[in-house]
A = this chain, B = another copy of it.
């Protein structure tokens, strides 16, 4: 049986921009459009030209894409022709091959929000779509509030869809604008639309996650016959966000019945880049990636339970519904005091250390980890520090250098212009192979702003480590997380640091102390130590 084609429509650059705290620049929009194009998305909605200067600029500077670039707008207003509607003209002027126009389909919204008659609204839909088609554009009609509208007045909501279709719309997109519809209802209503005369291969689905079912709603519409899927990367979007394409794409390609029934523009090979695509968006937005995200999250294939981890070692399918490499993600067997020795052996193996299952040092390592966790350490987010603990027990951790002392000063006072300013200064004294080295650093960044005591310490620590300098000079501190936690009976500070090298490799380390500077220093030191081991440095 030949597979039916499903079309993927991305609205990260338009609906995704409605996310609180998100505001893309033009270069960011271009970078995202290129990434979407590379993975095989069919339509890229770039924004609403005319409504937003950045969106207009994006269309002016748009990249070449294989995907159909689409401008968003709304149907013409009543009392003027489509050709004379300036909002529509701005959309037209973006000169994209496709245009998506949103229009009302819920009678209440037509009469109260627009204040026009139901017939006028139908005519606005018809004339706007026909105008776009006459100008040679592929026209899409976003049926706003469609599901709520259908429940209030099914005939009218269906009339709106039929009108758009009859006027030449390539796609009529059923929008659950308020995000309140549940999967069963989505399926039932989608089937009703097809029965009313808009064929499924001209129907799209656009859902929001206000009940946590945006993905399931989308799948329900596809099973009911819709053939275009609208969504965003990482589920960005107004309120709770849109249907998440980084979840939907793997499901469509990997899971039954979708895998057997449909094909999309994303190949199995391209699917392997979906994790990278998801992280890339977070990178651009400077957001911390959601660890628990389906398929692409750092925890999506993390097996913390001891029983799970030991089964995974025998056969990954025991606790994984798909293989992580299908989506370019990786399996993680984290350490924690729920973990058994099988977790530990797997983890050590991942570090290149083979240990006999009967080796008594396995228990010794677990005891050491547990004792440290009781003091406030946490190792499932700090694999590099875990490795160092294990290596120390196993005698596989060279003594590269010794920290003799450090001192940090934070001072806030008036500068010569009578402004209050803060400065931080750190001195670190280390002994490398018999030689004592003193380093001092301030915490100022390139613009002269204080970045705080940990920054100063970090810079002083890596300033001069003699023979190791070439190995540590590309270490960059990329994230820093602080938690006040319980260590024994006292509150202590736990610091987790993510570091990155020049090749983009990342590792995480942990430090714990009642003193936040001390905790940070410990994590910084672990980060350097781990890098030296990984790069095969030898103690001098």
Give chain A's interface residues, CB within 8 Å of chain B. 17-21, 23, 25, 27, 51-54, 109, 112-113, 177-184, 209-213, 215-217, 219-220, 223, 235, 238-241, 244, 247-248, 251, 255, 286, 288, 290-295, 297-305, 308, 311, 314-315, 318-322, 332, 334, 336-338, 373, 378, 380-381, 403-414, 422, 424, 443, 449-455, 479-486, 489-491, 493, 513-518, 521
Interchain Cβ contacts under 8 Å between A and B, 17 examples: A18-B304, A18-B338, A19-B304, A20-B291, A20-B381, A52-B337, A109-B311, A183-B216, A212-B215, A213-B216, A239-B301, A286-B484, A410-B453, A412-B518, A422-B518, A449-B490, A516-B516
CB distance from A277 to the nearest CB of B (A): 16
The residue of chain B having its C-beta at the shortest distance from the C-beta of A287 within the complex is B486
Contact of A515 among B292, B320, B422 (CB under 8 A): B422
Given contacts A23-B373, A286-B489, A453-B516, 14 further A-B pairs with CB under 8 A are A19-B292, A20-B334, A21-B378, A21-B381, A183-B183, A209-B292, A211-B251, A239-B292, A288-B288, A410-B518, A453-B515, A481-B484, A482-B483, A516-B516
CA–CA, A198 to B311, complex, Å?
29
Contact of A212 among B247, B314, B485 (CB under 8 A): B247
The residue of chain B having its C-beta at the shortest distance from the C-beta of A427 within the complex is B411
Contact of A299 among B20, B51, B286, B405 (CB under 8 A): B20
Contact of A297 among B219, B240, B299 (CB under 8 A): B240
A179: which B residues are within 8 A, CB to CB? 321
A483: which B residues are within 8 A, CB to CB? 286, 482
A17: which B residues are within 8 A, CB to CB? 338
Question: Judging by beta carbons under 8 Å apart, are A19 and B299 in contact?
Answer: yes
A51: which B residues are within 8 A, CB to CB? 338
A305: which B residues are within 8 A, CB to CB? 18, 238
CB distance from A479 to the nearest CB of B (A): 7
The residue of chain B having its C-beta at the shortest distance from the C-beta of A308 within the complex is B238
CA–CA, A51 to B452, complex, Å?
43
CA–CA, A336 to B17, complex, Å?
10
Question: Judging by beta carbons under 8 Å apart, are A514 and B300 in contact?
Answer: no
A338: which B residues are within 8 A, CB to CB? 17-18, 51-52
A486: which B residues are within 8 A, CB to CB? 25, 27, 286
Question: Judging by beta carbons under 8 Å apart, are A240 and B293 in contact?
Answer: yes
Question: Judging by beta carbons under 8 Å apart, are B422 and A412 in contact?
Answer: no
A315: which B residues are within 8 A, CB to CB? 112
Question: Judging by beta carbons under 8 Å apart, are A452 and B514 in contact?
Answer: yes
Question: Judging by beta carbons under 8 Å apart, are A303 and B238 in contact?
Answer: yes
Question: Judging by beta carbons under 8 Å apart, are B314 and A210 in contact?
Answer: no
Question: Judging by beta carbons under 8 Å apart, are B302 and A211 in contact?
Answer: no
The residue of chain B having its C-beta at the shortest distance from the C-beta of A290 within the complex is B290
Question: Judging by beta carbons under 8 Å apart, are A240 and B300 in contact?
Answer: yes
The residue of chain B having its C-beta at the shortest distance from the C-beta of A296 within the complex is B240
CA–CA, A412 to B403, complex, Å?
10
User: Given contacts A210-B300, A413-B405, A482-B482, is CB(A178)–CB(B320) below 8 Å?
Assistant: yes
Question: Judging by beta carbons under 8 Å apart, are A239 and B453 in contact?
Answer: no
User: Given contacts A301-B239, A452-B493, A516-B452, is CB(A23)–CB(B337) below 8 Å?
Assistant: yes
Contact of A211 among B210, B235, B255, B411 (CB under 8 A): B255
A181: which B residues are within 8 A, CB to CB? 321
Q: Which 9 A-B pairs have the closest CB atoms?
A: A180-B321, A216-B216, A405-B413, A452-B515, A212-B247, A482-B482, A212-B215, A178-B321, A212-B294
